[in-house]
A and B are shown apart, each in its own frame.
Chain A
Amino acid sequence: NAGVMQNPRHLVRRRGQEARLRCSPMKGHSHVYWYRQLPEEGLKFMVYLQKENIIDESGMPKERFSAEFPKEGPSILRIQQVVRGDSAAYFCASSPPGPQNQPQHFGDGTRLSIL
């Protein structure tokens, strides 16, 4: 499967635990984006990364949330000390290297539920 791969598809955590969401971009893509989707609110940009660099994290909450895209391996979105309000679908998208604004291709998301 050459598409954007996200895992796990579903993740259940209790309040105060940590959540780790993984994203492997499409083959040949070096730009990764994370979005959060809530019902009736659309996709909200969180962070844009290239290999080993955070390019734009203006959509990330200042506390508890972090993201990385290491030289080897998938991109990780990490949420520490989760709260009920973190329940949402988190989508990863990737785009090829080159000029910005190239279309982004999405994975099928991770649905995070906080008990």
Chain B
Amino acid sequence: QKEVEQDPGPLSVPEGAIVSLNCTYSNSAFQYFMWYRQYSRKGPELLMYTYSSGNKEDGRFTAQVDKSSKYISLFIRDSQPSDSATYLCAMSGAGNQFYFGTGTSLTVIP
């Protein structure tokens, strides 16, 4: 079983829609959770960083962590064509290794 599971998509939504991206994980020791956005031919760009369970909001982005279910989500409100990218979840525990999902490809159609 992979440490982190992420549906690769692709996901296609109309402009203005609410997007929900999700990851599940198996290691209950994970405490730090991140979402990255990666445009084609570019490096991952940090979007959200959370510790333990709960919600965190930043503009149109909301990150949720449910440690009891080992499930994390990223919501994008009022999605824009510029949000079209691959979204990667990442997480770590007490050690220094980060574990990444394979990424979900998102296209927002104008």
CB of B102 within 8 A of CB of A40, answer yes
Q: How far is the CB of B92 from chain A (nearest CB, A)?
A: 5
Interface centre among A4, A48, A91, A100 (most CB of B within 10 A): A100
CB of B46 within 8 A of CB of A101, answer no
A-B contacts counted at CB < 8 A amount to: 59
CB of B96 within 8 A of CB of A42, answer no
Q: How far does the alpha carbon of A73 sit from the alpha carbon of B54 in the complex, in Å?
A: 40
Interface presence of A115 (CB below 8 A): no
Partner of B43, one of A40, A41, A58, A109: A109
Residues of A within 8 A of B45 (CB): 106
CB of B97 within 8 A of CB of A45, answer yes
Q: How far is the CB of A11 from chain B (nearest CB, A)?
A: 14
Q: How far is the CB of A25 from chain B (nearest CB, A)?
A: 13
- Chain B contact residues, majority secondary structure: loop
Interface string of B97-110 (1 = CB under 8 A from A): 11111110000000
CB of B96 within 8 A of CB of A108, answer no
Q: Indicate the size class of the contact surface on chain A.
A: 20 to 34
Interface string of B15-42 (1 = CB under 8 A from A): 0000000000000000110101000011
**Residues A91 and B102 in contact in the complex (CB < 8 Å), given A42-B88, A56-B97, A103-B34:** no
CB of A100 within 8 A of CB of B96, answer yes
CB of A42 within 8 A of CB of B102, answer yes
**Residues A42 and B103 in contact in the complex (CB < 8 Å), given A55-B96, A103-B34, A109-B43:** yes
Q: Which residue of A lies closest to B32 (CB)?
A: A101
**Interface, chain B (partner A; CB < 8 A):** 6, 8, 31-32, 34, 36, 41-46, 49, 88, 90, 92-103
